[in-house]
């Protein structure tokens, strides 16, 4: 492992979100008041992420709860995540502890958080075709990948007027609507011919992700080859997974790991000033082989992706390990 000194860390971001400032002014203080100064921002990041991973777990156990209990739990967890996903950065700035490790944890985990929101929506609806679910998840990972490739290319993150807060509010509105039986019935009832109303959500999500991707490429001024290859491979993986007769959780984990691994390594290549990274080629090939081969190839696919992802995380976190802290330093005397 290289022992070269780390490049200086500078966080640059242009955020034009319409709701961000009102949200931070009026809502965030309701969640932040109890956060002590000594609590490191990275622990807040991991805590907020834990809320979303509980939603991930609930998404595979929907039959164990009533609809009301499940929706209320998801609403509470996503609200907590949204608040503390902003509070971690505010804590880092207030204590002077912003770091490359903090950015890596925040943004790489957000890649999965966005996918969890899509997943929870799919499982609440219950009748979304598996192929559509896989394409929706793939589109989200592509949009995240394009955003992080843009940061690497331009040295700056960019979020438009419709950003993370606006997206989260739409998801929260959908979850809230699921509390009312007539609205639930409307979402799954035919709206255009045999097409249920929930296809509006799927279409908005996929085309929104395409729009984000194209906007990133417009600012970059080109399509980096590595990103183009990722788009092709991840989409191919999604299509192959959508055709497999395998447990749904296996398909979800496969698309999560393939997309999350690439995006995480892109973030690491930016923070550590490394060359552009390539996506994993093996997982899509294994998924295609599963269409014609034995079912035990799924174990090989998931095992490979788990090892590939763990190795990618290690190669970023290990060089940045010096940024970790268990407690913030006390404020300097005036």
pLDDT of residue 4: 62
Cα–Cα distance list, 190 to 126, 180, 197, 301, 321 (Å):
15, 18, 6, 37, 53
pLDDT of residue 334: 64
Provide the residue ranges of all domains of the chain, joining segments of one domain with +.
13-322
Neighbours of 67 (CB within 10 A): 13
**Gap between the terminal Cα atoms of the chain:** 41
Q: Which residue has the tokens 């109303």?
A: 197
β-strands 13-15, 157-159 pairing? parallel
Mean of the per-residue pLDDT values for the chain?
95
Give the separation between CA 175 and CA 272, rounded to whole angstroms.
39
Categorize the per-residue pLDDT at 55 as very low, low, confident or very high, splitting at 50, 70 and 90.
very high
**Range 246-249, long-range pairs (CB < 8 A, 24+ positions):** 246/290, 246/295, 246/298, 248/60, 248/130, 249/60
Give the separation between CA 133 and CA 149, rounded to whole angstroms.
24
Asked if residue 61 has pLDDT above 70, the reply is yes
> Cα 119–89–104 angle (5° rounding)?
60
pLDDT of residue 1: 47
Q: What is the pTM of this model?
A: 0.96
| Percentage of residues in the chain having pLDDT higher than 70 | 99
Asked if residue 2 has pLDDT above 80, the reply is no
For the residues of 254-280, what is the DSSP string, one character each?
HHHHHHHHHHHHHHHHHHTTPPPP---
Categorize the per-residue pLDDT at 332 as very low, low, confident or very high, splitting at 50, 70 and 90.
confident
Region 269-291 average pLDDT: 97
Q: Who contacts 272 (Cβ-Cβ below 8 Å, separation ≥6)?
A: 6, 7, 100, 316, 319, 320
* H-type alpha helices, the chain: 20-26, 28-32, 41-59, 67-95, 100-125, 130-154, 164-177, 181-188, 198-220, 225-242, 248-271, 282-290, 297-317
Q: What is the pLDDT of residues 84-110, one digit of tens each?
A: 999 999 999 999 999 999 999 999 999
> Cα 164–171–108 angle (5° rounding)?
40
Q: Which residue has the tokens 């739409």?
A: 170
Strand partners, 196: 190
Q: What is the pLDDT of residues 207-256, one digit of tens each?
A: 999 999 999 999 999 999 999 999 999 999 999 999 999 999 999 999 99
- What radius of gyration, in Å, describes the C-alpha atoms of the chain? 20
pLDDT of residue 331: 82
Q: What is the pLDDT of residues 105-136, one digit of tens each?
A: 999 999 999 999 999 999 999 999 999 999 99
Q: Who contacts 21 (Cβ-Cβ below 8 Å, separation ≥6)?
A: none
Asked if residue 6 has pLDDT above 90, the reply is no
Asked if residue 274 has pLDDT above 80, the reply is yes
């Amino acid at each position: 492992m290289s022992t070269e000194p780390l490049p200086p860390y500078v966080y640059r971001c242009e955020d034009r979100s319409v709701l961000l400032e009102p949200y931070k002014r009026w809502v965030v203080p309701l969640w932040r008041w109890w956060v002590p100064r000594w609590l490191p921002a990275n622990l807040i990041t991991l805590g907020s992420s834990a809320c979303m991973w509980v939603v991930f777990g609930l998404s595979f156990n929907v039959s164990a709860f009533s609809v009301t209990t499940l929706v209320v739990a998801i609403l509470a967890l996503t609200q907590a995540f949204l608040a503390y996903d902003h509070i971690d950065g505010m804590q880092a700035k207030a204590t002077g502890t912003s770091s490359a490790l903090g950015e890596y944890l925040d943004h790489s985990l957000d890649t999965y958080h966005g996918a969890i929101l899509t997943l929870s929506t799919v499982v609440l609806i219950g009748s979304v075709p598996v192929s559509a679910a896989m394409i929706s998840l793939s589109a989200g990972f592509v949009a995240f990948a394009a955003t992080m490739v843009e940061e690497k290319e331009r040295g700056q993150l960019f979020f438009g007027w419709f950003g993370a807060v606006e997206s989260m509010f739409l998801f929260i509105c959908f979850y809230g609507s699921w509390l009312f039986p007539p609205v639930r019935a409307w979402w799954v009832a035919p709206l255009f011919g045999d097409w249920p109303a929930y296809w509006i959500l799927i279409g908005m999500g996929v085309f929104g992700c395409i729009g984000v991707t194209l906007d990133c490429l417009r600012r970059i001024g080109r399509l980096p080859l590595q990103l183009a290859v990722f788009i092709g491979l991840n989409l191919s993986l999604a299509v192959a997974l959508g055709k497999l007769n395998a447990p749904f959780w296996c398909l979800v984990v496969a698309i999560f790991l393939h997309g999350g691994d690439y995006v995480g390594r892109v973030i690491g290549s930016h923070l550590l000033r490394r060359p552009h990274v390539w996506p994993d080629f093996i997982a899509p090939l294994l998924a295609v082989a599963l269409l014609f081969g034995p079912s035990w190839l799924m174990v090989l696919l998931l095992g490979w992706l788990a090892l590939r992802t763990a190795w990618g995380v290690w190669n970023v976190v290990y060089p940045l390990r010096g940024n970790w802290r268990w407690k913030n330093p006390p404020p300097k005397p005036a």
